[in-house]
Amino acid sequence: MPNSQTDKKTLAIMVLSSPHASAHAQTALAYCQSVLDAGHQIYRIFFYHEAAYLGNTANCAPQDEINLSDRWQQLIQKYDIDSVVCIASGLKRGMLDTTEAKRYEKTTASLSPCTELSGLGQWIDAVNQTDQHIIFGN
């Protein structure tokens, strides 16, 4: 909700892009870091569409490249941000938590424990509750 005391805003962030197909996911990460540095608040980050891959814990980047999934997870952990990987986007791209891995009889979970699988209601709630929503990458 708008805060009349200061000019600080609450934001809902949606990311749509996978880590490697474009620069969008990296731009979004830099943006989130900047708004937090400026004292704004991120109410929730919602990973939708190809951005479900940003919740992956299994990817291994070469040593001289950044691991964007890890960077997102570090940001989420450091600032204790509420983050959601859309369950529909996530399941069809193999992003499973332990419950879903068991349900679909897969050998392992792939989703970072920093984030959770949930539905689009979490995004709509975030848009309704914040001053501004910003969508990266389409």
Residue 16 in the binding site for other proteins (CB under 8 A): yes
Among 48, 53, 72, 136, binds other proteins (CB under 8 A): 48
Minimum CB distance to other proteins smaller for 16 or for 29: 16
Minimum CB distance to other proteins smaller for 50 or for 70: 50
Residue 120 in the binding site for other proteins (CB under 8 A): yes
- Straight-line distance from the first to the last Cα atom of the chain, in angstroms, rounded to the nearest whole number: 27
Q: Report how far residue 114's alpha carbon sits from residue 129's, in angstroms, rounded to the nearest whole number.
A: 22
86 classed as catalytic: yes
Catalytic residue set: 86
Residues in contact with other proteins by CB under 8 A are 16, 48-49, 88-89, 119-121, 123-124, 127-128, 133, 135, 138
